[in-house]
Amino acid sequence: MSDPVPAPPPGYTGAAWLPRHVAIIMDGNGRWAERRGRPRLEGHAYGAQSVREIVTACRELDSIKALTLYAFSVQNWGRPDEEVEHLMGLLLDYLVEEKSTIMDNGIRLQAIGQIDRLPAKVLGQLRYLEELSKANRDMTLTLALSYGGREEIVLACQRVAARVLAGELAVEAIDESEIEKHLYTHDLPPVDLLIRTSGEMRISNFLLWQVAYAEIVVTDVLWPDFRRPELYASLEQYKGRQRRYGLTGAQVTPPSTGS
């Protein structure tokens, strides 16, 4: 018999304090396997199981409206061919096997990054599921694939420059919202919570613009071991944070005046 699914802690489901947008750097698959004397590829396969569980768990909480997963960076193309092929295979399996979970749970799936570099089969299934799920509104699952944060900002700059050259935009009119319009994530809320597994204190070229005011939780847990309890522990840390956006603590939480 399989273990019972851990329920969210009391008061979590539908809570207003929950982050609207959670982004995750899924790290540590290789080390997870190496610690067990297993090939790295096995770590990725278990990591794909974590993806399945965390997507469902976030959706169950209801208030999380966007989940963005760093599944493959532009720089990851430089890994050994066998590893890249294995990751692409896992991705394809995920897109095929999770279709009903995505549709039954009102999840809109999209991918961001240099998507055209993906193998034709993966790209085809991705485009199919993006189209099929595009009207879903309960949560947006964004897979960052062949993604780089600097590359995304360069692309946005090129698009803004093209508008200036076409006479559609004055240089003085370039502001944050103009840049944001041209980012892959233009229709997502800002990232509230960035989680990184495996203890590394790095951003690794992920959502550089979007994490400007995100709360960051780094856990030593390796991604294949990151399941519901670890998600709830990260959310509990987030719950205790005071978000200040450059203001003072007193400004964002004025002292209570009593009754």
Q: Annotated catalytic sites, by residue? A: 27, 76
List the interface residues with ligand FPP, window 208-247 (CB under 6 A): 223
In the complex with ligand FPP, which residue's Cβ is closer, 44 or 228?
A: 44
Query: Is 188 near ligand FPP (CB under 6 A)?
Result: no
Query: Which of 56, 63, 76, 114 touches ligand FPP (CB under 6 A)?
Result: 76
Of 120, 126, 114, 14, nearest to 63 (Cα)?
14
Question: Is residue 47 near ligand FPP by the rule CB under 6 A?
Answer: yes
Shorter beta-carbon distance to ligand FPP: residue 19 or 30: 30
The answer to the question of residue 113 lying near ligand FPP (CB under 6 A) is no
Strand 139-147, strand 193-196: pairing: unpaired
- Contact between 24 and ligand FPP by CB under 6 A: the answer reads no
Q: Which residue is nearest to ligand FPP (CB)?
A: 30
The smaller minimum CB distance to ligand FPP, of residues 18 and 90, is found at: 90
Residue 148 as a binder of ligand FPP (CB under 6 A): the answer is no
Query: Minimal distance in Å, beta carbon 106 to ligand FPP?
Result: 19
> Hey, what are 184's tokens?
């892959």
Q: Tell which residue, 139, 133, 108, has the closest CA to residue 14.
A: 139
Told to check if 107 binds ligand FPP by CB under 6 A, we report no
CB of 15 to ligand FPP, least distance (A): 26
Q: How far apart are the C-alpha atoms of 17 and 36, rounded to whole Å? A: 38
In angstroms, the CA 108 to CA 246 distance is: 33
**CA nearest to 72, candidates 86, 57, 56:** 86
Residues with Cβ < 8 Å from 18, sequence gap 6 or more?
A: 12, 61, 63, 64, 235
Binding segment (CB under 6 A) for ligand FPP, from list 28-36, 111-119, 132-140, 180-188: 28-36
Q: Which stretch binds ligand FPP (CB under 6 A): 16-24, 29-37, 163-171, 172-180?
A: 29-37
Out of 26, 122, 144, 156, point to the residue binding ligand FPP (CB under 6 A).
26
Run of H or E residues at 25: strand 21-25
**One-letter amino acid for residue 172 of the chain:** E
Residue 116 DSSP code: G
Q: If binding is defined by CB under 6 A, does position 71 make contact with ligand FPP?
A: yes
Tokens 């951003």 sit on residue: 203
Contact 178, 164 (CB under 8 A): no
Residue 31 as a binder of ligand FPP (CB under 6 A): the answer is yes
Residue 50, token pair as written in the block: 């974590």
User: The tokens of 192 are what?
Assistant: 């509230």
Contacts with ligand FPP: how many residues (CB under 6 A)?
Answer: 20
Residues at the contact surface with ligand FPP, assessed by CB under 6 A: 26-31, 44, 47-48, 51, 69, 71, 76, 87, 90-91, 94, 143, 198, 223
